[in-house]
Amino acid sequence: MGERNASFGPPPRGRLSSLGVRSVAGQVFVLQVAVVVLLIAAAVVALVLQARRDGTLDARHHTLNVAEAFAQAPGTAAAVTSADPTAALQPRTEQVRKSTGVDFVVVFSKTGIRYTHPDTNLIGKHVLGPYKSAITHGAFTRTFTGSRGLAVDSIVPVTKPDGTVVGLVSVAITVEEVQNAVNRQLPVLLGSAAGALVLAAGSWVLVSRRLRRQTHGLGPAEMTRMYEHHDAVLHAVREGVVIVDQHGRLLLANDEARRLLELPVDAEGRHVAELGLAAGVAQLLVSQRAASDEVHRAGDRLLGINVRWTDGGGRTTRCVATLRDTTELAALTGRAEVARGRLTLLYEAGVRIGTTLDVVRTAEELAEVAVPRFADLVTVDLADAVLHGEEPGRAGTEMHRVALRGVRADAPVAPVGHVVRLLPAAQQAEGPAADRGTLIADLSAEHGWRAHDPQHAARILDHGIHSLIAVPLRAGGTVLGRACFWRSEHGQPFDTDDLSLAEELAARAGVCLDNARRFTREHAVAVALQRSLLPRGVSAQTAVEVAHRYLPAQAGVGGDWFDVIPLPGARVALVVGDVVGHGLHAAATMGRLRTAVHNFSALDLSPDELLGYLDELVVRIDADEAAGEAWPGVTGATCLYAIYDPVAGRCCMARAGHPGPALVHPDGSVEFPEVPVSPPLGLGGRPYETVELPVAEGSQLVLYTDGLVEDRDRDIDAGLDLLRETLAGHPRRAPEQTCQAIVDAVLLPRPSDDVALLVARTRLLGPEHVAEWEVPSDPAAVAPVRADAGRRLAAWGLDEIAFTTELILSELITNAIRYGTPPVRVRLLCDRTLICEVSDGSSTSPHLRQATTTDEGGRGLFLVARLAQRWGTRYTPTGKVIWTEQSPRGDIGEVNLDLADLLLDPGGLPDEPSSDPP
């Protein structure tokens, strides 16, 4: 235990016993004097009885005092929680047991396992009795009957400084032992009681009154215990305690205070100013003001001081100050704050750098994270190849500045967009070369750097910049660029720890930059593929005036597309489609579907038939690809296919899972036509429905993909309402203006999906451009129709192609009469080209073949194909139509040459129309 701890043990049993006996005896003696001297014999008897009762009380007090003193003694709690409590506590308990005269002093755990006992065979055994009450309710004393008679046992918890109970101390004594001591004193008491009674009466009254007044009514046992506790706590705590009176004299200082303040041995009783204390500490102790955790320097220590002044009788009497050594804590706190700040900076860098897959934005995020918490100025330079998504080769001598951020706007370095040349570290005015990390703690001491560009160096130093760290931005061993961190007069120079932090920031930014670079490359490839698959321009159409937009999403290009496809008969097909997803797969799938739509439209199919064939194609593509490697499929593709006829002024359309169009009428009203909803492409086996709408001249058909009106942050109904508001009330607006208005008003700033937009203003082909005849089923009717057609061509100013047109009509009408079924009709359309159409009620289609020299027929369609630019067949609900197109500026020389060749061929004559069997 040590000498100091031994001195704070419990007081001797005899002292407490005699104090209690004198207290009770004095009270009885005063009572006897006050009542009658003649009853001294009876008083002696009462004294004996009272002594026996007090024996039990004294035993309770004695055991409780011993238990509390041992439990609260310095080192007891530490010994209980040590690796071997028995070795640390057994000698001490036996020493206390022998010195205090108790029967036993037992220390045991909270679970009741003994650590000490006079009988060593019981050590490690479980304690019997209600000891757990002391853990929850504190110390208690109980009376029980033991092997030696009536006994008293006091149990006190052992606690840590924070109040946690770690063990229990039990002290017991037999009441008979106390009573025997009293009985041995009884003859002496009886003999001296009569003589001492009278003399002690007066002095006892005076002394008792004075003691009661000075101890505020506390008895001797309480005063002894309070003093022992006070002295133990005062010298055991690890905080210094100082008490100073109102005159500045030191009244008390415990051991820790003497060590911290380096007080002399005779410090108590002297004035604070005479003790050689630090000025701040001395001033605080005599200032008569309260303080909480004020830090003052005392020699090479930092002391945290708390001061409270006690108030007695309305005036300040003395101050109590506690002192704590915070030197090491302050140093650790400072280092911990620096480390915490760096970890926080690295965490924020991981969160804030690389939020986008944009190379320049990633570099800007690195600069934003570092300023002003790490540097006062940050510049980021990247190789030109990185900006274009390419992988840089060997480190070059030039880089492009892409980011600059500082606490001041007038940074004396090259601005963003400037090309920075990399020079050796000793000469580099904008930072060392980018192939290694470099720390320059004092720029003014770098003479080579200043000599290379004195003016630039002078501007940097005049700006207050004094320290620099330049680190490469690497990814996989490839240098993408470099980052330079600068500090000015507001910050401390960089050190090696800062260099490590800068390299960590650069490493994280380098990975993000490489990801952005790769995305830039892939995005560029996807955009190039997407652009190559989309129409680069829309040819002029008589039927409609068209404007369009394609806007890729932030995530990259996707599978949205549009098309304007000319069809026979001056008609036009308007197509808008969408393949779900983004990237190369979506773009490639879009290209396949767009090509299929072009091929199917060449067959002049109705919208529902075309979508049916397209659906079968998607199903077949999925089935074929699924048989090989993993294939995500194209399920989710949608399409809207519309055919507008400018002669009839009608539009028929069908859709496969696609949003319906908007129709802007000539009066400015907006309608969303009811187009039957059909499932998306790729589900297979579902029929598609077609709707036919009358469309007035000057109307606008607005076709779009769902990315225009629907988004994660906006419901499709809200998007459609906004589209209606944008379109309404502007009937005379050109399609190009309508496109721009929709993009400005409806499109979100950062759309999550691609947007394809197609606006077509409709036109009509008037009656003056259309000529129609119904031909009887008689070959003789061919000549009158040819004559009428020639006159109409002359009226249109197409005399140059009249002859070839009559030949074409002659062949087509003859075939229709011979091989077709009534009714036979002829229609001429004067559009950008001359269109000849011959229809009949048969669904059989003629075909082109090469006739031999011995064949009598078979050259009719061959002649048509040679004279017309294009020809073909389309089917209608009532039959078929064979059509041809001719340029109004026909090349007569080439046609005559072709005719001469044909006339020399004995297979057919122009005035005897040959025919081709179906």
Q: How far apart are CA 439 and CA 857, in angstroms?
A: 94
Tokens, residue 253: 């200082």
Q: Any idea which residue has 């041992």 for tokens?
A: 70
Q: What's the confidence (pLDDT) of residue 277?
A: 85
Q: What's the confidence (pLDDT) of residue 426?
A: 42
Pairwise pLDDT comparison (448 vs 170), residue with the higher score: 170
Peptide bond into 680 cis (omega under 30): no
544-548 average pLDDT score: 92
Length of the chain: 918
Residue 663 binned pLDDT confidence (cut-offs 50, 70, 90): very high
Q: Which pLDDT tens digit goes with each residue over 441-489?
A: 888 887 776 777 788 888 888 888 888 888 999 888 788 888 999 888 7
Residue 859's nearest CA partner among 807, 819, 914, 896 is 914
Residue 174's nearest CA partner among 205, 197, 150 is 150
DSSP result, 99-146:
HHT-SEEEEE-TT-BBS--SSGGGTTSBPPSSTTHHHHH--EEEEEEE
Are 123 and 108 a contacting pair, CB within 8 Å?
no
Residue 918 predicted with pLDDT over 70: no
Query: Percent of the chain having pLDDT more than 90?
Result: 17
The residue type of 496 is: T
Phi, psi at residue 406, to the nearest 5°?
Answer: -150, 165
DSSP category for residue 699: -
Residue 743 binned pLDDT confidence (cut-offs 50, 70, 90): very high
Max mean pLDDT among 527-531, 572-576, 818-822, 912-916 falls in 572-576
Pairwise pLDDT comparison (418 vs 181), residue with the higher score: 418
Q: How far apart are CA 645 and CA 543, in angstroms?
A: 7
With vertex at residue 828, the alpha carbon angle to CA 825 and CA 829, rounded to the nearest 5 degrees, is: 135
Residue 383 predicted with pLDDT over 80: yes
3 state SS of 459: helix
What residues are paired with 879 via a beta bridge? 876
Residue 339 predicted with pLDDT over 80: no
The residue type of 223 is: M
Q: How far apart are CA 858 and CA 815, in angstroms?
A: 11
Pairwise pLDDT comparison (889 vs 462), residue with the higher score: 462
Please give the sequence-ordered ranges of beta strands (E in DSSP) within 255-397, or none if there are none. 291-298, 301-312, 315-325, 377-382
Residue 831's nearest CA partner among 647, 651, 599, 642 is 647
Pairwise pLDDT comparison (494 vs 39), residue with the higher score: 494
Q: Which pLDDT tens digit goes with each residue over 579-600?
A: 887 777 777 888 889 899 999 9
Residue 366's nearest CA partner among 376, 356, 380 is 380
Max mean pLDDT among 145-154, 381-390, 854-863 falls in 381-390
Tokens, residue 667: 């009066």
The average confidence (pLDDT) of the chain is 79
Phi, psi at residue 239, to the nearest 5°?
Answer: -115, 140
